Amino acid sequence: MTAVLPGATIGIFGGGQLGRMMTLAARTLGYHVIVLDPDPACAAGAVADRVIVARLDDVAAATELARASDVVTVEIEKVGLDAMAAAAALKPVRPGAQVLRVIQDRARQKQWLADRKFPLGPFWIARSADELGDARRSAGLNAFVKSATGGYDGRGQARAGADDDADAVWRALGSSPCVVEQALDLDSEISVMVARRVGGEHATFPPALNHHVNGVLDWSVIPAPVSDAVASEGVRIARDIAEQLDVVGLLAVEMFMLKDGSIVVNELAPRPHNSFHHTELASLTSQFEQAIRAACDLPLGSTDSMRPAAIANLFGDLWLQGVTPRWEEALAIPSVRIHLYGKSPRPGRKMGHVGAVGGTAEDAVTLALVARARLLPTR
């Protein structure tokens, strides 16, 4: 028996907003939750039974997490592999270390996808300033240079023109291995979320359409208004990756749609993803509940979208203008919901999101953006 039933305790590596929303879903299903996070004031702390305050590579803390839990899962991919191994020696860890090993290093992830012939844009792996210079010359103007480890939300990235000094770019990204990517001419961005159980049963949400600003997700809508052919191709690619990685838990696959209609994979995440927060509004099962079901080896919930739903992210800047966001103005739109993560504001920090449902994907996006605009102080 591999199922972990309600009443048991789930341990989560990481206690950010994804961990917080996973914890809320776990609690609804009657589980106890312990999170491990370096920040005692982490977002999940307010809703978890307990926070183990430690780095994500702390082997002793990981051992303690596993000892106190019945199953261990993740809300972040940057978990030390030794810490995962220590936890796995005591309790099931889902997804397993083999998944995080591939995903947490962008260079290894790209190579893994390339070796298995998944569609990718042109890329080069650079392990020195010289290699970075060569790659950038091959990649052409305005290439994306992405640090292999540590980046998120567009951080740990640089754009490199042909005239830029490769040494300076190399140093700015921490003098460590990076991936250089040709800047692709994007039609749009979509993501697909797969949930997979022990033994391979899986369920896939329909693709979400995502809009980024300066490399950071700004809004997302589900189901993506794309052709059936694009949707089913995206779902097929994501399922194949989840199967070949033998993911137990969630796998989010970010994809680029190019102007010629083809799809390439951008990157993977073995956890809930910002571009599926609207599943709480659109779907019978949210991504967070699905994460808990998959980790606990329970039957997966329906991933059907009952109606289009969108989210727009709220960033710390909204709080830093010296006035309270105008919550009542946004909530006066009946189909609008607000979700806050309980974090203290910093510029650019993800603080929460507004969600909205609509008759069409376009309506849902419009409503979410109108609601977000209503939060701004009047001038």
- What are the backbone angles phi and psi of residue 37, rounded to the nearest 5°? -155, 145
Sequence-distant (6+) residues with CB within 8 A of 123 are 110, 114, 179, 180, 181, 182
Min separation Cβ 213 and ligand ADP, Å = 9
Helix, strand or coil for residue 214?
coil
Q: Which residue has the tokens 């609601």?
A: 371
Cβ-based nearer residue to ligand ADP, 59 or 184: 184
Rounded to 5°, angle at Cα 351 from 184 and 105: 45
Q: How far apart are CA 103 and CA 340, in angstroms?
A: 28
Which residue, among 207, 213, 132, 118, has the nearest Cα to 172 in the 3D structure?
132
Dig out the tokens for 227 from the structure.
């052709």
* Interface pattern 252-291 for Mg ion (x via CB under 5 A): --x-------------------------------------
Report the interface residues with ligand ADP, using CB under 6 A: 121, 144, 146, 151-154, 181, 183-184, 186, 189, 212, 215, 254, 266-267
Rounded to 5°, angle at Cα 216 from 214 and 217: 125
Min separation Cβ 225 and Mg ion, Å = 21
Min separation Cβ 153 and ligand ADP, Å = 5
Q: What residue 184 binds from ligand ADP, Mg ion, none (CB within 5 to 8 A, per partner kind)? A: ligand ADP
Min separation Cβ 214 and ligand ADP, Å = 8
Which residue, among 142, 144, 72, 148, has the nearest Cα to 108 in the 3D structure?
148
Which residues are paired to 188 by β-bridges?
Answer: 257
Stretch of 6-14, 169-177, 227-235, 246-254 lying at the interface with Mg ion (CB under 5 A): 246-254
Cβ-based nearer residue to ligand ADP, 88 or 184: 184
Give the residue at shortest CB distance from Mg ion: 254
Q: What residue 186 binds from ligand ADP, Mg ion, none (CB within 5 to 8 A, per partner kind)? A: ligand ADP
Residue type, 5: L
Stretch of 98-106, 247-255, 290-298, 325-333 lying at the interface with Mg ion (CB under 5 A): 247-255
Q: Which residue has the tokens 């569609």?
A: 119
59-68 vs 81-88: helix axis angle to the nearest 10?
Answer: 30
Dig out the tokens for 360 from the structure.
């069409």
Min separation Cβ 78 and Mg ion, Å = 14
Cβ-based nearer residue to Mg ion, 164 or 254: 254
Q: What residue 75 binds from Mg ion, ligand ADP, none (CB within 5 to 8 A, per partner kind)? A: none
Min separation Cβ 79 and ligand ADP, Å = 16
Q: What is the DSSP string of 161-219?
A: -TTS-HHHHHHHTTSS-EEEEPPP-EEEEEEEEEEE-TTS-EEEPPPEEEEEETTEEEE
Q: What residue 233 binds from Mg ion, ligand ADP, none (CB within 5 to 8 A, per partner kind)? A: none
Q: How far apart are CA 22 and CA 152, in angstroms?
A: 20
Cβ-based nearer residue to ligand ADP, 63 or 182: 182
Output the furthest CA–CA distance in the chain (Å, rounded): 61
Cβ-based nearer residue to ligand ADP, 238 or 292: 238
Min separation Cβ 217 and ligand ADP, Å = 7
Cβ-based nearer residue to Mg ion, 233 or 254: 254
Min separation Cβ 11 and Mg ion, Å = 26
Q: What residue 152 binds from Mg ion, ligand ADP, none (CB within 5 to 8 A, per partner kind)? A: ligand ADP
Alpha helices in the chain (DSSP H): 17-28, 59-68, 81-88, 97-103, 106-115, 129-139, 166-172, 228-245, 279-282, 287-295, 327-331, 361-374
Cβ-based nearer residue to Mg ion, 109 or 285: 109
Total of residues contacting Mg ion (CB under 5 A): 1
Cβ-based nearer residue to ligand ADP, 188 or 335: 188
Cβ-based nearer residue to ligand ADP, 23 or 157: 157
Q: What residue 105 binds from Mg ion, ligand ADP, none (CB within 5 to 8 A, per partner kind)? A: none
Residue type, 244: Q
- What are the backbone angles phi and psi of residue 158, rounded to the nearest 5°? -140, 160
Neighbouring C-beta atoms of residue 299, cutoff 10 Å = 9
Min separation Cβ 254 and Mg ion, Å = 5
Chain residues that interact with Mg ion, rule: CB under 5 A: 254
